[in-house]
Copies of this chain bind each other. A is one copy, B any other.
Amino acid sequence: MSIETALGALQSLLGDGLTLSKSERDLHGGSESYFPDTPPDAVAFPRNTDEVAALLRICNEQDCPVIGWGAGSSLEGHALALRGGVVVDFRHMNKVLEIRPEDMSVTVQPGLTREELNIALRDTGLFFPVDPGANASLGGMAATRASGTTTVRYGTMRDNVMALEAVLADGRVIRTGSRARKSAAGYDLTGLMVGSEGTLGLITELTLRLQGQPEAISAAVCAFDDIAGAVAAVIDTIQMGLPMARIEFLDAASVRAVNAYAGMTLPETPHLLLEFHGSPEGVKEQAALFGEVIADHGGKGFEWATRTEDRTALWTMRHNAYYAVLASRPGARGVVTDICVPISRLAEAVEAVSADIAESGLPGPILGHVGDGNFHAILLIDPDSPADLETAKALSHRMVERALDLGGTATGEHGVGMGKLDYMAREHGAGWDVMGQLKAALDPNNILNPGKVVPQG
């Protein structure tokens, strides 16, 4: 039993669909995280589920690790081939298989990206709402339980994956869920696979819930004197049940970076960026109600943009905030953090993290999906400074400890990967052992993305 034997069998199976080239291995051995690159022994490009199943049967027999790969955009080193083996890149399995407008659902292959899907849906009046920022693959988004700016309204991948086809470690192909909108028929295997980060199976097909394109969309920015005012406005808005489609926070440092990057002139104080979806009347009413909320919390410069180009400019700015922040310290590398707390503890969490960062001396703008209690800091380090990296790691550690102290979670949306593994024991207690038992039951040889998510023996 060896990786080498597996690679021989895989070459017979996949032909051109397997490569041992150094450049491909290097490309599939890196990540957006600060963890060292760890190239796999080979990269496979399967064309269909049968090939994935045959690949897994071979690798399971040979104890050869198998790691799924979508767009490579995950932030916590999810796909690093810690023990070598084969990275399975789903780029050739990127078809839209069936759009069912009357059911508001679509079936796709895992390599399709969310932007490609929305282009394919353009003429249907429907869209797929989950938006993590990056143009991630839908298989990867399901595997990491991605969410993002629109989750406050439309939910995470947990809420938007209706059914899956997945291949287990031993090559068995399972179909979970159905095309019905709900079911009470047994264990929720779809939910178990979503967020399992490739440790329980490889996703080979997804059925996703779609949303109707709203008749009217309105977006806005709004400035606050301080973090507390902005966060209090978010809390009030949620409690009123206002159905915001997006409600994003940028701290003063993020706004400063965005101004410099995009040539904008926003006041350099904390901001909320918002979007409402609905009927023309509904959107107008929501805007008026939100205007009343922010007036109570010192919100200023509240202006609505209903024109598509103005809205696009606003959300392009938000999506580019990461690059804007990076550009604010030339040559810097960003260490991106991710925590999520109960809404009631959000102001406390943001202010404490803000103070920690200020004290550290590292630049670290804070921004995030505050309607979910989820936010990030982009800690800017000199890539040649081990001291900077240590400071960033210590800040990130402190952030997670604060999130857990406040009844929150170590990761709202980026996932466990390499970066959050050390916190799982504290966050889940005995539940983490249970995750290990489930993993052992379905992947007894531990070939699927070994070294991730569950306790390491």
* A positions within 8 Å CB-CB of B: 100-105, 125, 144-147, 151, 155-156, 158-159, 168, 172-176, 178-189, 191-192, 194-196, 200, 211-212, 214-215, 235, 238-241, 243, 279, 281-282, 285, 289, 338, 340-344, 372-374, 403, 407-416, 420, 423-424, 427-435, 437-438, 440-442, 453-454
Contact = CB atoms under 8 A, between A and B. Distances in A.
19 contacts: A104-B343, A125-B239, A158-B191, A174-B430, A178-B342, A180-B372, A180-B403, A181-B342, A182-B372, A184-B416, A185-B428, A186-B435, A187-B200, A187-B453, A211-B241, A215-B241, A437-B441, A438-B441, A441-B441
A44 to B, nearest CB: 23
A372 B413 CA distance: 28
Nearest to A340: B180
A183 B430 contact: no
Contacts of A147: 182, 184
Contacts of A282: 281-282, 285
Copies of this protein, total: 2
A212 B236 CA distance: 11
Nearest to A211: B241
Contacts of A289: 279
A104 B415 CA distance: 24
B172 A453 contact: no
Nearest to A282: B282
A179 B342 contact: yes
Contacts of A403: 180
B344 A102 contact: yes
Contacts of A240: 212
A428 B279 contact: no
A181 B427 CA distance: 15
Contacts of A156: 182, 184
Contacts of A182: 147, 151, 156, 158, 340, 372, 374, 409, 412-413
